[in-house]
Structure 1
Amino acid sequence: MRGLTVGVIGGGIGGLSAALSLLAAGFDVQVYERSRALGEVGAGVQVSPNASRILHNLGLAGELARVGVKPLALHQRRWDDGRTLLRTPLGEPLEDRFGFPHYQAHRADLLAALAAAIPPERIHLGHRLTAFDQTHDRVRLRFAAQDDAEVDVLVGADGIHSDVRGLLFGPERPRFTGCIAYRGLIPAERLEGLDIEVTAQVFMGPGQHFVNYYVSGRRLMNFVAIVEQGTWTRESWTDRGEVADALKAFDGWHPQVRGMLEAVDETFVWALFDRPPLPHWSQGRVTLLGDACHAMLPFMAQGAAQAIEDGATLAACLAAKSDDPAGALIDYERLRLPRASRMQALSSENKTRFHLHDGPDQEARDEAMAKGATDWSYDVVAWIYDHDAANPLP
């Protein structure tokens, strides 16, 4: 085992996948999670080839095949009549092109697979970080109601409300995007009459869009219904929503959209906030990862994948410069920040592209999609899916 001890704050998908990459590179890794049980908020997650490449190489191919769903295609459709705007094959054609599969999964299933691959004594629950102090060669961690700890490198993988980021750079000021999202899960048997393929669907319409795909071995349908709204103050994934409000918002939409919403028992409402890219992620021996440093809107389906990439690149950089951890973190930031910032920008741009009202701009968008000149056609997403984050160094 290499000499460095790495402390990871946060036991979500980003933190645990980083821990696995760091363990595979031979580091002594300790994960500190503030909750008393591991758990993921939200339902569906897309694991595209740039992320499945990493997870397969970490030994999770079998578990992903068990809990994930391999969709046939990404199907982008018009809101009212369901006309196809762009249908991108996934499944075997995607795997042949990019070398690794695309999965749709329940977040809790993916988190459980990651946790099961990590020795349990390396995951410390009920540890809420309150402060840290750096010296030239160590970082001391201070926890509420727990003993202090010391590590050589500290990684903040503690999400959009990151304590580590706040301690490093002070409070942030996220901007409400003008969108809210209704989300939830529907038992698949309730949808049998709707003839829904095993695809990831995006219905695009004026001022809103609707996403749905199967998870948990096709037993559940995950849906996210995004609606433009003027004001919102609270950023949470766990606020209850009203199914009647979602149905009203999607009045006149395609029968599949209406049928899914009519089959919903409960929904949660989540406000979408945007954040400008951070100029830096690191100070000395402390750095950030995932949503803690590049939270992005869900309109590229790359949030979890980019966090998984972060962990793989971080492990590679520390392995290359284990005698200079601060220098390794500079390399990590140099390699990851531009790519993550580009993904943030594209995710923001897709809010506009998905929500065009009928007219010249919408017609131009549809024409570009028909030519394969937009997101999720193979040539356009190759820079995302071909990337090997575990081998970023020349």
Structure 2
Amino acid sequence: MAIRSEVEQWDVVIVGAGIAGLAAAIALRKDGRSILVLEKSSMNKEVGALISLQPNASKIVDGWNMQPFLAEKKPMVDEAFRLLNVEGKLQVEMKLNTSQFGADRMLYHRQDLHDALRQAATSENMPGSPAVIRTSSGATGCDCESGTVYLSNGSSVQGSIIVGADGIRSAIRDEVIKGTTSEGSKAIPTGLSAYRILVEIDKLPKLDVPEDVFDLKRSATTMIVGHDKRVIMGPGRGGEMFGLVCLVPDPNPNGEGTSWNNPAPLGEVLEAFKAFPTWVREIMSQAPDVALWQLRDIDPLTTWTKGRAILIGDAAHAMLPTQGQGASQSIEDAEALQAFLSGIDSKSSSEEVHAQLQAIVSARYERASLIQAYSRLQAKPAASKDNKTVQLNPQEFMEYNCNYSGAKDWAKRQREAEEMAYKQTAARA
């Protein structure tokens, strides 16, 4: 008879090695703290696309001393947000003078950012003990109270803390929300899909567009809206690449196309955006391949924590890319773990662990849920019926999103606002 081996014991088990999971691994590094990151894929090929970190997240990443890992990735400072109508006329230009927020808005190739986070999480040269990443290790569920994570190969691991960073189709979320009013919450189609295109700038033809309207190498994000569609685009990887995310009404609302890797015909994209400026379609036409991604999000959950488990990133608050805050909110989540779990170790009781996890949720829930709601709001038609006037003010969201200095500071500001409201109510009474 085979003897059953004991379940592996870890201080922290992180499920998912995407941006949220790797950021959490970096944030939770501490001398003597063992961290295991479980990833269902083989991580042989990370998805290629451009991604931004807003000042609220860049400030946190800067605090992790990530420069040695990011410098060689050729990140770019995003200097402006430019909004054009479907005729290609500039409607709004917002200079991103982010000194007021303490950091820049940074543009990365997604693969480069992911690789830098992975290197930092496992490096011997970062503070604390390196994390261990175990690939081809998909989680099928967990016991939140005991901290046990069950794997698809039949094995299991146990942690004092479980971090569910396993994305919009999270298996850990199913267990955390079981028995709550959120039970059964799944990723829901939003009515939008996005074509993703990435091209090499030096392979693009000279575009027939004035430089004051559009310049391929301008370090800026440009959005064009009209006819219930929009294109969000900009350079990356030091100006070597140019990326476009092209939002359209979902052509297959009942489909399962949530993967970033669903191929789509180039002609389909060009037809969808035939009313957009010719120079935009010239960029699209040079795409070596196109992927169609069905955009889904989730309704706000009742809670993100149960027992020893907590959800972060898309598992907790998946949101549309219309504000570019998805990755940034994952970074914020990781910083909150760092701030509130600094005193937690393997000797901490279940009650002590859960109290700190609940404090994280209290500090993060309202903010992330509101940014979720903002992202949905911005997905609504942003142009007038004639498509000549853009009815979208990105400045409305910038200060709330970026004026952030960590979870504990935000919690303090929340308390102060509540106390002020109470005093005002008492004075009126």
Q: Flag whether TM exceeds 0.5 (same fold).
A: yes
Query: Structure 2: where are the runs of 5+ without partners?
Result: 1-8, 123-129, 178-182, 208-214, 413-429
Bigger Rg over Cα: 2
- Describe the SS at the equivalent of 2:28: helix
AA matched with 2:139: L
Separation in 2, partners of 1:77, 1:116: 38
Offset at residue 263 of structure 1 (A): 1.4
Structure 1 pair 328–108 and aligned structure 2 pair: CA distance change class (3 A): same
Matched, 1:166 2:194: no
Matched, 1:278 2:301: yes
Residue from 133, 140, 148 that aligns with 2:148: 140
Please list the CA deviations of residues 245-302 of structure 1 after superposition, one character each: whole Å capped at 9, or x if unmatched: 1101111312331111121121000111232111111111111000001110110100
Aligned to 2:85: 78
Separation in 2, partners of 1:306, 1:208: 25
Aligned to 2:161: 153
Offset at residue 228 of structure 1 (A): 1.4
Aligned to 1:255: 278
Query: Structure 1: where are the runs of 5+ without partners?
Result: none
Aligned to 1:21: 27
Separation in 1, partners of 2:23, 2:44: 13
Aligned to 1:386: 403
Matched, 1:298 2:326: no
Offset at residue 172 of structure 1 (A): 3.0
Separation in 2, partners of 1:182, 1:6: 37
Separation in 2, partners of 1:182, 1:54: 30
Matched, 1:117 2:140: no
How many residues align? The count is 375
Offset at residue 4 of structure 1 (A): 8.3
1:37-76 mapped onto 2 (5 Å cutoff):
37=43, 39-67=45-73, 68-76=75-83
Separation in 2, partners of 1:37, 1:70: 28
Residue from 103, 117, 127 that aligns with 2:106: 103
Task: Please tell me whether the aligned partners of residues 168 and 297 of structure 2 are also in contact (alpha carbons under 8 angstroms).
Answer: no
TM-score, normalised with respect to structure 1:
0.88
AA matched with 1:274: D
- State which drifts further: 233-242 or 338-347: 233-242
- State which drifts further: 57-66 or 69-78: 57-66
TM-score, normalised with respect to structure 2:
0.81
Offset at residue 316 of structure 1 (A): 1.0
Task: Please tell me whether the aligned partners of residues 23 and 121 of structure 2 are also in contact (alpha carbons under 8 angstroms).
Answer: no
RMSD: 2.3
AA matched with 1:139: G
Task: Please tell me whether the aligned partners of residues 321 and 327 of structure 1 are also in contact (alpha carbons under 8 angstroms).
Answer: no
1:2-17 mapped onto 2 (5 Å cutoff):
5-17=11-23
Structure 1 pair 8–264 and aligned structure 2 pair: CA distance change class (3 A): same
Matched, 1:309 2:332: yes
Task: Please tell me whether the aligned partners of residues 12 and 111 of structure 1 are also in contact (alpha carbons under 8 angstroms).
Answer: yes
Task: Please tell me whether the aligned partners of residues 36 and 125 of structure 1 are also in contact (alpha carbons under 8 angstroms).
Answer: yes
AA matched with 2:303: H
Residue from 247, 261, 266 that aligns with 1:243: 266
Separation in 2, partners of 1:188, 1:118: 32
Structure 1 pair 98–24 and aligned structure 2 pair: CA distance change class (3 A): farther
Aligned to 2:140: 130
